[in-house]
Structure 1
Amino acid sequence: MKGSARLLKDEEIAEALGRLDGWKLEENKRIAKKYLFPSFPEAISFVQKVAEIAEAQNHHPFIAIDYRKVTLRLTTWHSGGLTGLDIAAASAYDGLLAK
């Protein structure tokens, strides 16, 4: 996986968020995005694909499923905040919808 576990500086976070569509900074230590799907099965299918990427990257998001809405939150717990690992994961998850 691209990205490192080094904590990002504020300006690096701002730049990364400018490249990511719809991701928001929460409490200056994690990023989050809500995805809305046409149906519950499509939401679950997306979550399954997210899980496969997370396992391959060994970097797992917080996932909340509320019917057709899926919320993902990313932080690097062992580093104490946002790192390149989170940005790379967010980009990979967004890429699932571009296919």
Structure 2
Amino acid sequence: MSNLTEQACEACRADAPKVSSAEQNELLQQVPSWTLVERNGEQQLERQFKLKNFVEALAFANKVGELAESENHHPAILVEYGKVTVNWWTHKIGGLHNNDFIMAARTDALHAS
């Protein structure tokens, strides 16, 4: 499997398959800071990023928003003082797709830069 940060999202249809449990386990090894959560019966990837203050948190959230818009794949983003929580999942399929792991890895790269 190639590096997730180097991959682009593929167009996703409502009938696209969710990642299997085995695929999830393999992909999670590449984004170890992310956790699986379930909200409203849908699996999601979630990570909280620590930042110095609200201004930095808002700037990071905007970078995540720009990344999301460039791939036409949009997360839930919660901005608070000194932290940003990001949740990735594929709305059309009501769960996790390979795209979500790609975007999680690319979000990590944004935070590291």
Which residue does the alignment assign to 1:89?
103
TM-score (norm 2): 0.80
TM-score (norm 1): 0.91
Contact 2:90 2:97 in 1 (8 A): yes
Deviations 1:34-84 (A, max 9, x none): 001011111111011001000000000001112111100111010121001
Contact 1:3 1:83 in 2 (8 A): no
Contact 1:3 1:88 in 2 (8 A): no
Deviation at 1:21, TM superposition (A): 3.3
1:55 corresponds to 2:69: yes
Distance in structure 1 (CA, Å) of the matches to 2:10 and 2:28: 15
**5+ unaligned residues in a row in structure 2: which ranges?**
1-7
**5+ unaligned residues in a row in structure 1: which ranges?**
none
Distance in structure 1 (CA, Å) of the matches to 2:59 and 2:32: 21
Contact 1:4 1:83 in 2 (8 A): no
User: Which has the larger Rg?
Assistant: 2
Contact 1:75 1:86 in 2 (8 A): yes
Contact 2:57 2:80 in 1 (8 A): no
Name the amino acid aligned to 1:29: Q
1:67 corresponds to 2:78: no
Distance in structure 1 (CA, Å) of the matches to 2:34 and 2:10: 17
Identity across aligned pairs (percent)? 33
Deviation at 1:4, TM superposition (A): 6.3
Q: 1:13–1:94: structure 2 CA closer, same or farther, 3 Å change rule?
A: same
Which residue does the alignment assign to 1:17?
28
Contact 1:37 1:68 in 2 (8 A): yes
CA RMSD of aligned residues (A): 1.5
Which residue does the alignment assign to 2:60?
46
Deviation at 1:2, TM superposition (A): 3.5
